[in-house]
Amino acid sequence: MSANQLDNKSHAWSALFSEPMSELVQRYTASVSFDRRLAAVDIEGSLAHAEMLAAQGIISEPDAEAIERGLKQISQEIERGAFEWQLVLEDVHLNIEARLTQLIGDAGKRLHTGRSRNDQVATDIRLWLRGEIDGISTLLRELQRALVDVAAQHVETVMPGFTHLQVAQPVSFAHHLLAYVEMFARDDARLADVRQRVNQLPLGSAALAGTTYPLDREHVARTLHMDGVCQNSLDGVSDRDFAIEFCAAASLIMVHVSRLAEELVLWMNQNFAFIRIADRFTTGSSIMPQKKNPDVPELARGKTGRVVGHLMGLIMLMKGQPLAYNKDNQEDKEPLFDTVDTVRDTLRIFAEMIGGQLNPATGDREGGIRVNADAMQAAAQKGYATATDLADYLVKKGLPFRDAHETVARAVKTAQERGCDLSELPLDVLQGFHAAIERDVYDVLSLHGSLNARNTLGGTAPAQVKKQIARHRARLASAGH
């Protein structure tokens, strides 16, 4: 497309076309309304390309300088909001190129030498996504820090641990929170892994088969701080597996957030009353004056569906596409953008909702979740959470585990009938279940006794939990990875 045609709003593509697109088709095919978000990386890629073209003697130095000047001006125009985006110019690439030619004339028309929009757009998305991955990684680490800091306050806070959402065994609340830290740490590692495959340069693949100009692709990759160069031009322009992988990693982040969200909702319920979250993360009801609804965690749970949906969308977008580039791929952007926006907002809001804000004067966190340790403890007490401890006690006295299990089941039944906890059964009653039971049984029937007994690596004993907190703090101390 020549610059004059680019300037002309009612153009057909070239001399080859006998009629212009209808307005509907124009609107249907245009992507500029959303892909203008790639403008900064589009310019970054073009600058690197032009510099290399000049270094290789493919365009002149003065042309490269004019291109650089023009692109920098365009970048400022876009930042100022002064750039005039035109639907008729279809996408971000053609809009910028047309303006460049308007500004600097023929030199602008030389920028696209040895390049196609196919390798250009693939490069843009990769550059953009690389930056977003780094941003999300930072947010993941902030959320982990918030969880670790809250955990550090609650090493000795006992809550009921659940299986099947039934009270199972007592656990430290810190231990419970640190389970999420593990999940988010893996999510971060997954992103770092995906990043290596995102950070490969398609530019130089041209439309599909490579180019006749003596490009130095490695030069461009170095300029753009990419880890390598796509080694097959057909693959470079056409596959979006890196975006799919990213959406899979993002989906797992959201799945983990969603599990935490579900727990926050439960814990806020009056029948649990384990925690409160700050009012700014809740809303009232328009009819029921007493209500405080956990809208933020609920929305995070809901938005998880949206992110997983984008993953499905991208997978379906890719399947069945013949090599090489197809216009289908233009549909990769909106799901990808929305995934990034949703994950970023969610992580930011969760870090603050859980950890509050850091007071720079005191180094303390303020306004995060408030924990009702008494309610947690009472709930753990209610559910016979130390029944396994009693069974283990009997095993240590020589009973086979299955017999101990049965004996304790009878003890629990009696306690239920009396409406009390195991630790509240008198010694003679306990001894009625088994003669080996002695006074020291009450040590294992206490919640803290139960916690302390699980003192193996990865267990909930406060001594173990403290070690884990120290490990996470050391890991999260560095600004980077």
Residues forming the active site: 164, 285
Q: How many CB atoms lie within 10 A of CB 123?
A: 32
- Candidate ranges 63-71, 115-123, 210-218, 463-471; the one touching ligand ARG (CB under 6 A): 115-123
- Candidate ranges 257-265, 322-330, 400-408, 424-432; the one touching ligand ARG (CB under 6 A): 322-330
> Token pair of 79, please?
């930042």
392-431: contacts with ligand ARG (CB under 6 A):
none
CB of 238 to ligand ARG, least distance (A): 10
Kindly tell me which residue out of 166, 327, 360, 478 binds ligand ARG, with binding defined by CB under 6 A: 327
Q: What is the Cα–Cα distance from 12 to 17, expressed in whole angstroms?
A: 6
The residue (of 85 and 272) whose beta carbon lies closer to ligand ARG is 85
Best CA proximity match to 370, nearest among 283, 267, 270: 267
Q: How many CB atoms lie within 10 A of CB 410?
A: 12
- Candidate ranges 246-254, 321-329, 405-413, 463-471; the one touching ligand ARG (CB under 6 A): 321-329
- The answer to the question of residue 31 lying near ligand ARG (CB under 6 A) is yes
Angle, alpha carbons 231-234-237 (nearest 5°): 90
The residue (of 100 and 148) whose beta carbon lies closer to ligand ARG is 100
Kindly tell me which residue out of 118, 200, 205, 339 binds ligand ARG, with binding defined by CB under 6 A: 118
> Token pair of 122, please?
């693939």
- The answer to the question of residue 121 lying near ligand ARG (CB under 6 A) is yes
- Candidate ranges 326-334, 353-361, 410-418, 453-461; the one touching ligand ARG (CB under 6 A): 326-334
Angle, alpha carbons 339-345-351 (nearest 5°): 130
431-470: contacts with ligand ARG (CB under 6 A):
none
CB of 251 to ligand ARG, least distance (A): 23
- The answer to the question of residue 251 lying near ligand ARG (CB under 6 A) is no
The residue (of 118 and 464) whose beta carbon lies closer to ligand ARG is 118
- The answer to the question of residue 80 lying near ligand ARG (CB under 6 A) is no
End-to-end C-alpha distance for the chain, whole angstroms: 45
The residue (of 157 and 211) whose beta carbon lies closer to ligand ARG is 211
Kindly tell me which residue out of 157, 329, 388, 468 binds ligand ARG, with binding defined by CB under 6 A: 329
- The answer to the question of residue 330 lying near ligand ARG (CB under 6 A) is yes
CB of 124 to ligand ARG, least distance (A): 9
HSE-up of 305 (CA within 13 Å, CB side)?
Answer: 4
- The answer to the question of residue 258 lying near ligand ARG (CB under 6 A) is no
- The answer to the question of residue 97 lying near ligand ARG (CB under 6 A) is no
- Candidate ranges 1-9, 113-121, 243-251, 256-264; the one touching ligand ARG (CB under 6 A): 113-121
Q: How many residues in the shown chain lie near ligand ARG by CB under 6 A?
A: 10
Burial letters for 127-165: b for 16+ Cβ neighbours within 10 Å, e otherwise? bbbbebbeebbebbbbbbbbbbbbbbebbebbbbbbeee
- The answer to the question of residue 95 lying near ligand ARG (CB under 6 A) is no
CB of 176 to ligand ARG, least distance (A): 44
- The answer to the question of residue 91 lying near ligand ARG (CB under 6 A) is yes
CB of 323 to ligand ARG, least distance (A): 14
- Which parts of this chain interact with ligand ARG (CB under 6 A)? 31, 35, 91, 117-118, 121, 325, 327, 329-330
